[in-house]
Amino acid sequence: MSSTFKTFLKSGHWPTLLASFLYFDFCFAIWVLNGAMAPFITESFHLDAAQKGFMISVPILAGALMRFPLGVLAQYIGRKNAAMVEMGLIVLALAFGYFVVGSYSHVLAMGVLLGIAGASFGVALSLGSGWYPPKYKGLAMGIAGAGNSGTVLAVLFAPPLAQKFGWQTVYGLAAFTMLLPMAVMWFAAKEPPDVEHQSLREHISCLFEKDGWAFSLIYVVTFGGFIGLASFLPTYFYDQFKVTKVEAGQLTMLATLMGSAVRVVGGAVSDRVGGITTLTGVLVVAAVCLVACGMAGQSLVITTLLFMLCFAAFGAGNGALFQLVPLRWPLTTAVAGSMIGEVGALGGGFIPNAMGQSMQRTGSYLWGFVAFAAVALAMLAMLRVVQIRWTRTWAEKGGRARQAPGQQEPVSYGRG
């Protein structure tokens, strides 16, 4: 196992992979700050369940909408430069949070600005995996994508800092943390060689293909579920089990850490057995766990363990899906990843709002869980249908990479 990993590292440029991981990790932490501090913000402005859900969903939705433009920009100025521009804008956004935010409307505006950090996804994964050959791209993207462990940083450190210094101060402290990934990106990262100058229409061609939308809808469950639940869990634990605000963050950390760690495993397993096979198991486990979480609302221990299993499934699913992306779009991975990430992250806005509406209307969070479980089962049915065509054209059985060089570039079904 050790020799295999050394071979993997030597096959690409590991400093760029490290820089991509840190970039995504710190951006992800900033992206979910409002969710991590939601119990404090709720107390300050006396928000009802629906307002809480909407407030938590704003950064997720804003980040989703910003992903594709950043991916297109990266095609023109380079992924490293796009990352540096984005991190500079994040620092300015956090300064706004520290100096200006003081009302619920300001919090919503801040949520939009936090969305800048959520745009990092496609660029980080493409930059990190761009130096690696197809057979290792799943693992490389899994490592870069494990930067969603930034959720762990947010829910672990933001609540105690907010309790000690005030939640507005956390924005200012977070601005200084961005200096680390910016320095590593500047000095360690190199732009990958897999760049091809294309027209804007060629860049966005995946928007007009069935496969692009199939990937995006599956990602609604795997990543949308991860970011949506990660942002909402501090509020859920605080409201449902009456734990302290800091304890709510610590319990959320257990679940999100599991999802972040297993993402790497999901990418590596998918390199061996195929992303389609892995995604099939992931969607089944996620649907079952979501319903079970909703029904286990009286036991803190059981609920926490179920969330950990659910997040493990989400993490493995994210790694599996992005093992398939570079196989399907080998020359436009950054843009394809951004488009898929954009639609998928929009699904993350569904969960906080569904939970808020469920509690507001029925007095229970159960129906929010059930609604998202139904979405997971619908995506499973779709996957089993579309995978028939995938394995006949651009992937081996189960979704593994094809070895013959002539088979690396797939047919465009939307234009065919």
List, for residues 309-336, the tens digit of each pLDDT value: 999 999 999 889 988 988 888 877 766 7
The H or E element that residue 213 is part of is: helix 210-241
Instruction: State the average pLDDT for the chain.
Output: 89
Q: Which two tokens stand for residue 252?
A: 């959320």
% pLDDT > 90, the chain: 65
pLDDT at residue 416 in the model: 35
pLDDT at residue 339 in the model: 74
Q: How many CA atoms lie within 13 A of 313 on its CB side?
A: 24
List, for residues 50-61, the tens digit of each pLDDT value: 999 999 999 999
pLDDT at residue 70 in the model: 87
Task: Give the integer Cα–Cα distance in Å for 94 and 372.
Answer: 32
Of the candidates 230, 235, 233, 234, the residue with the CA atom closest to the CA atom of residue 256: 230
pLDDT at residue 413 in the model: 38
pLDDT at residue 156 in the model: 94
Total-model pTM:
0.86
23, 87 in Cβ contact below 8 A? yes
Q: Which two tokens stand for residue 411?
A: 């047919």
Q: Which two tokens stand for residue 250?
A: 């610590």
List, for residues 161-172, the tens digit of each pLDDT value: 999 999 999 999
Does 221 score more than 90 pLDDT?
Answer: yes
pLDDT at residue 2 in the model: 65
pLDDT at residue 209 in the model: 85
Does 111 score more than 50 pLDDT?
Answer: yes
Mean pLDDT score, 228-250: 95
pLDDT at residue 406 in the model: 47
Which of the 8 DSSP states describes residue 120? T
Report residue 157's pLDDT band, with 50, 70 and 90 as the boundaries.
Answer: very high
155, 234 in Cβ contact below 8 A? yes
Residue 89 neighbours by CB distance under 10 Å: 15
pLDDT at residue 335 in the model: 67
pLDDT at residue 415 in the model: 41
376, 105 in Cβ contact below 8 A? no
397, 391 in Cβ contact below 8 A? yes
Does 145 score more than 80 pLDDT?
Answer: no
Which of the 8 DSSP states describes residue 377? H
Task: Give the integer Cα–Cα distance in Å for 337 and 207.
Answer: 11
List, for residues 337-395, the tens digit of each pLDDT value: 767 877 888 889 999 999 999 999 999 999 999 999 999 999 999 999 999 999 999 98
Nearest 5°: the CA angle 251, 41, 233 is 25
pLDDT at residue 204 in the model: 65
pLDDT at residue 178 in the model: 96
159, 40 in Cβ contact below 8 A? yes
36, 346 in Cβ contact below 8 A? no
Report residue 188's pLDDT band, with 50, 70 and 90 as the boundaries.
Answer: very high
Please state the separation of Cα 131 from the chain's center in Å.
Answer: 22
List, for residues 263-290, the tens digit of each pLDDT value: 878 888 888 899 999 999 999 999 999 9
Does 203 score more than 80 pLDDT?
Answer: no
DSSP 292-329: HHHHTTT-HHHHHHHHHHHHHHHHHHHHHHHHHHHHH-
Helix (H, G, I), strand (E, B) or coil at 77: helix
Residue 154 neighbours by CB distance under 10 Å: 30
